[in-house]
Amino acid sequence: MRGMGAAQPAKIPPEAGKSRAARAAGRKAGLPCGARLGHGLIMPHDHADPDHAQAHLPSDPALRVKALETLLERKGLIDPAALDAIIDTYAHKIGPQNGARVVAKAWRDPDFARALDEDATAVCAELGFYGRQGEHVVALRNTPDCHNMVVCTLCSCYPWPLLGIPPGWYKSDAYRSRAVREPRKVLAEFGVALAPDQSVRVWDSTAEIRYLVIPMRPEGTEGWDEEALAALVTRDSMIGTGLARTPQ
Protein backbone atom coordinates (compact mmCIF):
# COMPACT_ATOMS: atom_id res chain seq x y z
CA MET A 1 0.00 0.00 0.00
CA ARG A 2 1.21 3.45 -0.74
CA GLY A 3 -0.13 5.61 2.02
CA MET A 4 1.58 8.96 2.30
CA GLY A 5 1.59 11.11 5.39
CA ALA A 6 0.57 14.67 4.73
CA ALA A 7 3.70 15.92 6.40
CA GLN A 8 5.86 14.17 3.84
CA PRO A 9 5.43 15.65 0.37
CA ALA A 10 4.79 12.74 -1.95
CA LYS A 11 6.83 12.31 -5.04
CA ILE A 12 4.62 12.88 -8.02
CA PRO A 13 5.34 10.56 -10.93
CA PRO A 14 7.04 12.37 -13.83
CA GLU A 15 4.14 11.59 -16.13
CA ALA A 16 1.44 12.83 -13.75
CA GLY A 17 0.65 15.88 -15.83
CA LYS A 18 0.19 14.04 -19.09
CA SER A 19 -2.74 12.14 -20.45
CA ARG A 20 -2.46 8.52 -21.57
CA ALA A 21 -2.85 9.73 -25.16
CA ALA A 22 -0.01 12.21 -24.74
CA ARG A 23 2.22 9.53 -23.26
CA ALA A 24 1.30 7.17 -26.08
CA ALA A 25 2.11 9.89 -28.61
CA GLY A 26 5.48 10.39 -26.97
CA ARG A 27 6.22 6.69 -27.04
CA LYS A 28 5.16 6.45 -30.67
CA ALA A 29 7.58 9.24 -31.50
CA GLY A 30 10.34 7.27 -29.80
CA LEU A 31 10.83 9.91 -27.15
CA PRO A 32 11.41 9.27 -23.47
CA CYS A 33 8.59 9.99 -21.04
CA GLY A 34 8.24 13.72 -20.42
CA ALA A 35 10.19 14.59 -23.57
CA ARG A 36 9.33 17.93 -25.08
CA LEU A 37 9.07 18.92 -28.66
CA GLY A 38 9.62 22.62 -29.26
CA HIS A 39 8.01 24.48 -26.36
CA GLY A 40 5.25 22.08 -25.42
CA LEU A 41 4.57 18.50 -24.53
CA ILE A 42 3.60 16.39 -27.46
CA MET A 43 -0.16 16.17 -27.68
CA PRO A 44 -2.14 14.03 -30.11
CA HIS A 45 -3.97 17.07 -31.47
CA ASP A 46 -0.71 18.84 -32.26
CA HIS A 47 -0.63 17.29 -35.69
CA ALA A 48 1.04 19.43 -38.29
CA ASP A 49 -0.89 17.97 -41.21
CA PRO A 50 -4.19 19.87 -41.63
CA ASP A 51 -5.59 16.96 -43.65
CA HIS A 52 -5.05 14.57 -40.77
CA ALA A 53 -8.39 13.40 -39.33
CA GLN A 54 -7.49 14.66 -35.84
CA ALA A 55 -7.08 18.19 -37.18
CA HIS A 56 -10.83 18.26 -37.80
CA LEU A 57 -11.87 17.24 -34.31
CA PRO A 58 -13.38 20.00 -32.19
CA SER A 59 -11.38 21.16 -29.18
CA ASP A 60 -14.18 20.80 -26.64
CA PRO A 61 -13.83 17.33 -25.02
CA ALA A 62 -17.58 16.57 -25.16
CA LEU A 63 -17.73 17.48 -28.83
CA ARG A 64 -14.59 15.45 -29.54
CA VAL A 65 -16.19 12.42 -27.89
CA LYS A 66 -19.37 12.90 -29.92
CA ALA A 67 -17.36 13.31 -33.13
CA LEU A 68 -15.37 10.14 -32.42
CA GLU A 69 -18.54 8.25 -31.53
CA THR A 70 -20.14 9.30 -34.82
CA LEU A 71 -17.08 8.28 -36.82
CA LEU A 72 -16.83 4.89 -35.11
CA GLU A 73 -20.54 4.28 -35.65
CA ARG A 74 -20.28 5.16 -39.33
CA LYS A 75 -17.39 2.77 -39.75
CA GLY A 76 -19.38 0.05 -38.02
CA LEU A 77 -16.79 -0.31 -35.27
CA ILE A 78 -19.21 0.26 -32.40
CA ASP A 79 -22.82 -0.67 -31.83
CA PRO A 80 -24.82 2.37 -30.61
CA ALA A 81 -27.19 0.09 -28.67
CA ALA A 82 -24.26 -1.50 -26.82
CA LEU A 83 -22.88 1.95 -26.06
CA ASP A 84 -26.27 3.08 -24.73
CA ALA A 85 -26.43 -0.02 -22.54
CA ILE A 86 -22.99 0.72 -21.08
CA ILE A 87 -23.89 4.34 -20.42
CA ASP A 88 -27.20 3.32 -18.83
CA THR A 89 -25.43 0.79 -16.62
CA TYR A 90 -22.99 3.36 -15.27
CA ALA A 91 -25.62 6.09 -15.04
CA HIS A 92 -28.29 4.09 -13.21
CA LYS A 93 -27.05 0.74 -11.94
CA ILE A 94 -23.45 1.28 -10.91
CA GLY A 95 -22.61 4.33 -8.89
CA PRO A 96 -22.00 5.78 -5.43
CA GLN A 97 -25.18 4.12 -4.16
CA ASN A 98 -23.22 0.83 -4.14
CA GLY A 99 -20.38 2.21 -2.05
CA ALA A 100 -22.93 3.88 0.23
CA ARG A 101 -24.47 0.49 0.97
CA VAL A 102 -21.08 -0.88 1.96
CA VAL A 103 -20.45 2.10 4.25
CA ALA A 104 -23.89 1.86 5.86
CA LYS A 105 -23.38 -1.83 6.55
CA ALA A 106 -19.97 -1.13 8.06
CA TRP A 107 -21.50 1.53 10.33
CA ARG A 108 -24.22 -0.84 11.55
CA ASP A 109 -22.29 -4.07 11.85
CA PRO A 110 -18.86 -4.24 13.55
CA ASP A 111 -18.27 -7.78 12.22
CA PHE A 112 -18.92 -6.56 8.69
CA ALA A 113 -16.55 -3.64 9.26
CA ARG A 114 -13.83 -5.98 10.48
CA ALA A 115 -14.31 -8.25 7.46
CA LEU A 116 -14.06 -5.17 5.27
CA ASP A 117 -10.77 -4.24 6.93
CA GLU A 118 -9.41 -7.71 6.22
CA ASP A 119 -10.61 -8.28 2.65
CA ALA A 120 -12.76 -5.56 1.15
CA THR A 121 -12.60 -7.14 -2.31
CA ALA A 122 -14.25 -10.35 -1.09
CA VAL A 123 -16.84 -8.53 1.03
CA CYS A 124 -17.83 -6.21 -1.82
CA ALA A 125 -17.98 -9.13 -4.25
CA GLU A 126 -20.42 -10.92 -1.96
CA LEU A 127 -22.70 -7.91 -2.29
CA GLY A 128 -22.37 -8.08 -6.07
CA PHE A 129 -19.96 -5.16 -6.37
CA TYR A 130 -17.08 -6.47 -8.41
CA GLY A 131 -15.69 -6.32 -11.91
CA ARG A 132 -13.60 -3.95 -13.97
CA GLN A 133 -11.67 -1.39 -11.95
CA GLY A 134 -12.71 -3.09 -8.73
CA GLU A 135 -10.57 -6.21 -8.73
CA HIS A 136 -8.59 -5.25 -5.63
CA VAL A 137 -10.40 -2.98 -3.20
CA VAL A 138 -9.02 -1.70 0.08
CA ALA A 139 -11.30 0.01 2.60
CA LEU A 140 -9.88 2.94 4.57
CA ARG A 141 -11.74 3.77 7.74
CA ASN A 142 -11.70 7.38 8.87
CA THR A 143 -11.23 7.94 12.58
CA PRO A 144 -11.09 11.02 14.80
CA ASP A 145 -7.30 10.72 14.53
CA CYS A 146 -6.94 10.15 10.80
CA HIS A 147 -8.79 11.29 7.70
CA ASN A 148 -8.14 9.36 4.49
CA MET A 149 -8.21 10.85 1.03
CA VAL A 150 -7.78 9.10 -2.32
CA VAL A 151 -6.17 10.24 -5.53
CA CYS A 152 -4.63 8.66 -8.60
CA THR A 153 -1.55 10.74 -9.30
CA LEU A 154 -0.87 8.94 -12.57
CA CYS A 155 -4.29 8.99 -14.20
CA SER A 156 -7.77 8.32 -12.82
CA CYS A 157 -7.84 4.89 -11.13
CA TYR A 158 -11.10 4.65 -9.22
CA PRO A 159 -13.30 1.87 -7.79
CA TRP A 160 -15.93 1.81 -10.54
CA PRO A 161 -18.15 -1.00 -9.17
CA LEU A 162 -18.53 0.97 -5.92
CA LEU A 163 -18.52 4.59 -7.05
CA GLY A 164 -19.28 4.55 -10.78
CA ILE A 165 -17.42 6.80 -13.19
CA PRO A 166 -14.95 9.25 -11.60
CA PRO A 167 -15.93 12.93 -11.55
CA GLY A 168 -14.08 15.29 -13.87
CA TRP A 169 -12.13 16.97 -11.08
CA TYR A 170 -10.74 13.61 -9.93
CA LYS A 171 -9.02 13.31 -13.29
CA SER A 172 -7.76 16.88 -13.39
CA ASP A 173 -4.07 17.72 -13.24
CA ALA A 174 -4.76 20.13 -10.39
CA TYR A 175 -6.37 17.56 -8.10
CA ARG A 176 -3.86 14.85 -8.94
CA SER A 177 -0.89 17.03 -8.11
CA ARG A 178 -2.28 19.14 -5.28
CA ALA A 179 -3.94 16.31 -3.34
CA VAL A 180 -0.53 15.00 -2.38
CA ARG A 181 1.20 18.38 -2.00
CA GLU A 182 -1.36 20.30 0.01
CA PRO A 183 -4.20 17.96 1.02
CA ARG A 184 -5.57 20.21 3.77
CA LYS A 185 -5.84 23.12 1.39
CA VAL A 186 -7.59 20.97 -1.20
CA LEU A 187 -9.94 19.65 1.46
CA ALA A 188 -10.73 23.21 2.55
CA GLU A 189 -11.68 24.03 -1.04
CA PHE A 190 -14.09 21.09 -0.92
CA GLY A 191 -15.53 22.61 2.26
CA VAL A 192 -13.95 20.07 4.58
CA ALA A 193 -12.38 21.53 7.70
CA LEU A 194 -10.56 18.99 9.82
CA ALA A 195 -9.54 19.32 13.43
CA PRO A 196 -5.89 20.46 13.63
CA ASP A 197 -4.94 17.26 15.44
CA GLN A 198 -6.59 14.99 12.87
CA SER A 199 -3.93 13.80 10.46
CA VAL A 200 -4.56 13.43 6.73
CA ARG A 201 -3.39 10.37 4.89
CA VAL A 202 -3.37 10.47 1.11
CA TRP A 203 -3.57 7.18 -0.77
CA ASP A 204 -2.38 6.89 -4.34
CA SER A 205 -4.51 4.47 -6.35
CA THR A 206 -2.78 2.15 -8.72
CA ALA A 207 -3.82 -0.12 -11.54
CA GLU A 208 -3.91 -2.89 -8.94
CA ILE A 209 -5.49 -1.28 -5.88
CA ARG A 210 -8.60 0.87 -5.57
CA TYR A 211 -9.56 2.49 -2.32
CA LEU A 212 -12.91 3.11 -0.67
CA VAL A 213 -12.97 5.58 2.20
CA ILE A 214 -15.36 4.68 5.01
CA PRO A 215 -16.32 8.07 6.43
CA MET A 216 -17.08 8.47 10.11
CA ARG A 217 -20.67 7.78 11.08
CA PRO A 218 -22.46 11.04 11.88
CA GLU A 219 -23.67 11.54 15.42
CA GLY A 220 -27.38 11.25 16.07
CA THR A 221 -27.88 8.25 13.80
CA GLU A 222 -28.06 5.56 16.46
CA GLY A 223 -30.63 2.92 15.54
CA TRP A 224 -30.99 4.09 11.93
CA ASP A 225 -31.57 1.40 9.34
CA GLU A 226 -29.23 0.73 6.44
CA GLU A 227 -31.23 2.67 3.88
CA ALA A 228 -31.43 5.79 6.02
CA LEU A 229 -27.71 5.62 6.79
CA ALA A 230 -26.78 5.07 3.14
CA ALA A 231 -28.61 8.28 2.25
CA LEU A 232 -26.05 10.18 4.34
CA VAL A 233 -23.09 8.77 2.43
CA THR A 234 -21.96 10.98 -0.44
CA ARG A 235 -19.65 10.06 -3.28
CA ASP A 236 -17.08 12.60 -2.12
CA SER A 237 -17.13 11.20 1.41
CA MET A 238 -16.02 7.86 -0.05
CA ILE A 239 -13.15 9.54 -1.94
CA GLY A 240 -12.23 11.48 1.18
CA THR A 241 -12.93 14.92 -0.26
CA GLY A 242 -16.11 15.16 1.77
CA LEU A 243 -17.70 14.00 5.00
CA ALA A 244 -20.92 12.08 5.49
CA ARG A 245 -24.00 14.31 5.72
CA THR A 246 -25.23 15.12 9.17
CA PRO A 247 -28.88 14.32 9.97
CA GLN A 248 -31.22 17.30 9.49
Name the β-bridge partners of 146: 199
State the first-to-last Cα distance of the chain, in angstroms, to the nearest integer: 37
Q: Is 157 in the site for Fe ion (CB under 5 A)?
A: yes
156 is catalytic: yes
Q: Which is nearer to Fe ion, 151 or 229 (CB)?
A: 151
Least distance in angstroms from the C-beta of 18 to Fe ion: 12
Nearest-5° angle of CA 154, CA 157, CA 162?
165
Q: How many CB atoms lie within 10 A of CB 169?
A: 14
Does position 152 bind Fe ion by CB under 5 A?
yes
DSSP track, 129-191 = --STT-SSEEEEE--SSEEEEEE-SSS----HHHH-SPPHHHHSHHHHHHHHH-HHHHHHHTT
Residue of closest CB approach to Fe ion: 157
Shortest gap between Cβ of 38 and Fe ion (angstroms)? Answer: 28
For the CB of residue 118, give the shortest distance to Fe ion in the complex, in Å.
25
Stretch that binds Fe ion, among 8-16, 117-125, 147-155, 209-217 (CB under 5 A): 147-155
Query: 70: part of which helix (H) or strand (E)?
Result: helix 61-74
Backbone angles phi, psi at 89, to 5 degrees: -60, -50
Return the C-alpha torsion angle 156, 16, 185, 208, nearest 10: 40
Phi, psi for residue 218 in degrees, rounded to 5: -65, 150
192 near Fe ion, judged by CB under 5 A: no
Least distance from C-beta 226 to Fe ion, angstroms?
A: 31
Residue closer to Fe ion (CB basis): 6 or 152: 152
Residue 157 is among the residues annotated as catalytic for this protein: yes
Does position 151 bind Fe ion by CB under 5 A? no
Closest CA to 177 of 20, 17, 1: 17
Interaction between residue 155 and Fe ion (CB under 5 A): yes
Q: Which is nearer to Fe ion, 2 or 52 (CB)?
A: 2
Shortest distance (Å) from residue 210 CB to Fe ion = 9
Q: Which of 156, 199, 205, 237 is an active site residue?
A: 156
Question: Near Fe ion by CB under 5 A, which window of 42-50, 144-152, 182-190, 231-239?
Answer: 144-152
100/155 with CB nearer Fe ion: 155
Give the residue numbers marked as catalytic: 152, 155-157
The contact set with Fe ion (CB under 5 A) reads: 152, 154-155, 157
